């Protein structure tokens, strides 16, 4: 007869929690996601951020296992932050948690190096599965979009001709996002810690590379390619 000592030993083992950082510019959204995560005993939220730069600093200071991150964040959006994070912190698994279900966003996210793409409306049912799957080194896509994505765009679709947005440098995309958010030259320089002349140079290169000739044209381009969603468009 088994005495159950083996089972007792297993129960006494300390399970290392999954360290998670949340990044979303809406405090209430972060609070809701945090509440979901804290119901899981094997998950520990170690930090929260409201924009792309803040989450990069937080990952450096409080290295997590997983970052749950929205796309639409001010200053530096989630896809740009994900690309830098994948490059500088390759051990961190990134899950995009967003309302956007279009294929362009998904492909850009995968190219940026994310491990998962989860829709906010399905987060309750899929969050635990997504966390554990990406920690096993797998890719997780929301069930709602995975079938149609891989049917229409097989994996080889991730490589190929770059879009107009992808042909820009990371710094040019940063400047473009800040312009579209309504920042002026000085404001952009202060955020990026560069001189106004440097900002003007990047703006000139943007206009030349995209064959656009004014700020409204840059803003329309940023909106069209999804660099910023319409609700983040600068007022006026």
- For 182-205, write each residue's pLDDT tens digit: 889 999 999 888 998 999 988 888
How many separate helices (H) and strands (E) can be counted in the chain? 11, 6
**What sign does the CA torsion over 104, 107, 110, 116 have?**
positive
Alpha helices in 181-214 (DSSP H): 185-192, 196-210
CA distance 123 to 112: 21
**pLDDT > 60? residue 232:** no
Q: What is the pLDDT of residues 105-143, one digit of tens each?
A: 888 888 889 999 998 887 677 888 899 999 999 989 887
Residue 187, token pair as written in the block: 């404001």
- Phi, psi (5° rounding) for residue 37? -65, -40
- Measure the CA dihedral 212/213/219/225, to 10°: 0
Domains in the chain, CATH or no CATH each: 14-158 (3.40.50.2300), 170-232 (1.10.10.10)
Note the pTM of the prediction, 2 decimals. 0.72
Nearest C-alpha neighbor of 180 from the set 210, 140, 135: 210
The pLDDT tens digits for 38-48 are 888 889 999 99
Question: Which of 213-229 are b and which e, b meaning 16 or more Cβ less than 10 Å from the residue's Cβ?
Answer: eeeeebbebbeebbbbe
Q: Alpha-carbon distance 172 to 160, whole Å?
A: 21
What is the spatial distance between Cα 96 and Cα 222, in angstroms, rounded to a whole number? Answer: 20
Q: What's the pLDDT tens digit per position in 151-167?
A: 655 544 444 556 777 78
Alpha-carbon distance 83 to 166, whole Å? 12
DSSP 167: T
């Amino acid at each position: 007869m088994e005495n159950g000592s083996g089972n007792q030993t297993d129960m006494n083992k300390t399970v290392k929690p999954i360290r998670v950082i949340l990044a979303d510019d809406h405090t209430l959204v972060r609070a809701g996601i945090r509440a979901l995560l804290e119901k899981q005993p094997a998950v520990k939220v170690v930090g929260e951020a409201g924009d792309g730069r803040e989450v990069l600093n937080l990952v450096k200071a409080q290295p997590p296992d997983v970052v749950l991150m929205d796309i639409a964040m001010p200053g530096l959006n989630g896809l740009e932050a994900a690309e830098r994070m994948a490059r500088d912190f390759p051990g961190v698994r990134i899950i995009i948690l967003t309302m956007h279900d279009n294929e362009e966003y998904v492909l850009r996210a995968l190219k940026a190096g994310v491990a998962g793409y989860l829709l906010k409306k399905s987060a309750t049912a899929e969050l635990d599965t997504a966390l554990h799957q990406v920690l096993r080194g797998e890719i997780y896509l929301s069930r709602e979009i995975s079938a149609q994505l891989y049917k229409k765009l097989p994996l080889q679709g991730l490589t190929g001709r770059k879009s107009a947005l992808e042909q820009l440098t990371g710094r040019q995309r940063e400047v473009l996002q800040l312009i579209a958010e309504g920042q002026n030259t000085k404001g952009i320089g202060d955020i990026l810690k560069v001189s106004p002349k440097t900002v003007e140079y990047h703006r000139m290169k943007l206009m030349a590379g995209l064959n656009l000739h004014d700020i409204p044209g840059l803003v329309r381009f940023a909106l069209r390619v999804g660099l910023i969603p319409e609700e983040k468009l600068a007022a006026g």
